[in-house]
């Protein structure tokens, strides 16, 4: 007979076989991610028993509509609409939060942690805004809080930062970390669709919500970048320190002009740890066609890292969806079930940044600038002179077409596209203000370029 031992998870305990650890899970919410998590856990129970030596059972599922859950194959006896029942259930060791939003999710997660239950969450906004509160409670009860699924879906970026590249000082990260915007920009690039039509298509396919603001204006990527840059640079990077710009004002002609010059447009989340300080920003960005991120299309995501020892690394995969995200959720469940030691942040996790940390706001970047200029001799020299006056050198100047187009004031002018060398935000803004006041042309678009 195999000897029984007591396994402890936070404040809860149970008798388990000495060779196999038994772990009970509660799932809060049975939407896309919750449903995928339930199916993955139940389908692969024997596989995890065989490969991970852990027997994971779903002991409770919190739902509003029990009939719908039963229709999805969930046994009625484990369904509840009462969070107190879930928290009080002694068979539950790990609580998986997939309900989304912030208010209720925060209350439920805190209640689970206070009761001594480990928590796994896919909620990026919750982790971004309140990880300091959650971690403070988790430390008091000795519980773990795991959030791999909060960033980049099924791509194991958080585990990589925590357990894969810790030998390095991560100097830089650039990522396509929102599938909705990547799908829209891919459609605009490959099919020449305008933004409105590409958005409607994304909504029809379920990639974009009826109100797409969170995705297309960069909030989703901003929350994720806050989490990832904090982990990568070992210091708190609040989302309030991140520059944000969405894709809703992108014109398909700029994507086409950029393509003709050898660039691909992506919404990038960028974090750099420089001598001047930490630089964090989310915005549309041109990258050279040869860059690994340029070939990441449709709803796929990717994160490009640079470490001082390892050099360049890129992780690529599905950034959303029931089963890719469930993959990350269940990975955290298994990790929590098989690791007795709990790790917390490697930095002082507070609501605000440490006062000693400097953040760069006047960051440097190359620029793609599209001008509408008068079709007259000497205009190009005058435009170049304005850039030169503000210390901006030019990489390329191209008159893409001779066809005149109306600028934002309805004046017929010819388009002129300029690619600059690296310059500061202050310098480029001053130059564009001067051009707009010159009477010879107007700035129609300005998009940052990363190499």
Catalytic residues: 224
Name the DSSP letter for residue 245.
-
On whether the CB atoms of residues 271 and 225 are closer than 8 A, the answer is yes
Closest residue by Cα to residue 87 from 64, 65, 119, 55:
119
The tokens describing 119, both together, are: 């928590």
d(CA 375, CA 381): 12
Cβ neighbors of 9 (< 8 A, separation 6 or more) are 23, 93, 94, 116, 117, 118, 143, 336
State how beta strands 277-288 and 94-97 pair: unpaired
Measured distance CA(94)–CA(145) in Å, rounded: 10
- C-alpha distances in angstroms, 376 versus 78, 197, 232, 437? 76, 36, 51, 17
Query: CB neighbours (10 Å) of residue 161?
Result: 25
- Helix, strand, coil content of the chain in percent (nearest 5): 40, 30, 35
- Give the integer Cα–Cα distance in Å for 117 and 120: 10
**Which helix (H) or strand (E) covers residue 419, if one does?**
strand 412-420
| Half-sphere exposure of residue 37: CA atoms within 13 angstroms, side-chain side | 35
Q: How far apart are CA 48 and CA 124, in angstroms?
A: 27
Q: What 3-state DSSP class applies to 42? A: helix
The encoded tokens of residue 427 equal 């310098």
Dihedrals φ, ψ of 117, to 5°? -105, 135
According to DSSP, residue 359 is labeled B
Please report which residue ranges of 302-424 form alpha helices under DSSP H. Answer: 322-338, 379-389
Taking a C-beta distance cutoff of 8 angstroms, is the pair 220, 227 a contact?
Answer: no
Sign of CA dihedral 99, 101, 103, 109: positive
Provide the H-helix boundaries in 261-365. Answer: 322-338
CA 293 → CA 162, 257, 316, 451, distances in Å? Answer: 23, 19, 9, 11
């Amino acid at each position: 007979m195999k000897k029984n031992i007591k396994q402890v998870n936070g404040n809860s305990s149970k008798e388990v076989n000495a060779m196999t650890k038994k772990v009970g899970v509660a799932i809060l919410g049975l939407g896309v991610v919750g449903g995928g998590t339930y199916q993955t856990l139940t389908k692969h129970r024997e596989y995890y028993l065989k490969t991970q030596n852990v027997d994971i059972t779903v002991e409770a599922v919190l739902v509003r509509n029990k009939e719908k859950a039963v229709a999805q194959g969930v046994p009625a006896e484990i369904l509840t609409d009462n969070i107190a029942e879930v928290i009080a259930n002694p068979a539950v060791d790990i609580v998986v939060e997939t309900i989304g939003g912030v208010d209720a999710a925060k209350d439920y997660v805190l209640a689970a942690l206070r009761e001594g239950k480990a928590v796994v969450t896919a909620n990026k906004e919750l982790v971004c805004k309140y990880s300091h509160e959650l971690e403070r409670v988790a430390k008091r009860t000795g519980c773990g809080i795991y959030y791999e699924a909060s960033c980049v879906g099924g791509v194991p970026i958080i585990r990589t930062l925590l357990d894969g590249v810790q030998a390095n000082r991560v100097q830089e990260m650039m990522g396509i970390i929102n599938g909705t915007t990547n799908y829209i920009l891919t459609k605009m690039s490959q099919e020449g669709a305008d933004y409105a039509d590409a958005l409607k298509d994304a909504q029809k396919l379920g990639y974009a919500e009826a109100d797409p603001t969170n995705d297309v204006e960069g909030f989703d990527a901003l929350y994720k970048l806050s989490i990832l840059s904090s982990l990568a640079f070992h210091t708190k990077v609040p989302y309030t320190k991140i520059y944000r710009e969405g894709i809703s004002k992108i014109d398909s002609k700029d994507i086409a002009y950029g393509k003709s010059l050898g660039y691909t447009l992506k919404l990038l989340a960028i974090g750099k740890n420089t001598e001047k300080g930490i630089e964090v920003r989310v915005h549309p960005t041109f990258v050279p066609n040869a860059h690994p991120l340029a070939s990441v299309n449709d709803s796929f995501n990717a994160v490009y890292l640079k470490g001082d020892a390892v050099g360049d690394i890129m992780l690529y995969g599905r950034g959303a969806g029931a089963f890719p995200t469930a993959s990350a959720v269940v990975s955290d469940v298994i990790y929590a079930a098989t690791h007795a030691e709990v790790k917390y942040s490697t930095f002082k996790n507070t609501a605000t940044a440490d006062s000693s940390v400097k953040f760069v706001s006047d960051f440097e970047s190359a620029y793609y600038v599209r001008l509408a200029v008068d079709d007259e001799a000497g205009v190009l020299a005058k435009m170049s002179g304005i850039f030169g006056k503000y210390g901006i050198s030019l990489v390329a100047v191209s008159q893409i077409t001779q066809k005149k187009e109306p600028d934002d004031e309805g004046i017929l002018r010819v388009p002129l596209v300029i690619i600059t060398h690296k310059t500061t935000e202050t310098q480029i803004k001053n130059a564009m203000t001067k051009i707009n006041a010159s009477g010879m042309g107007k700035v129609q678009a300005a998009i940052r370029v990363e190499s």
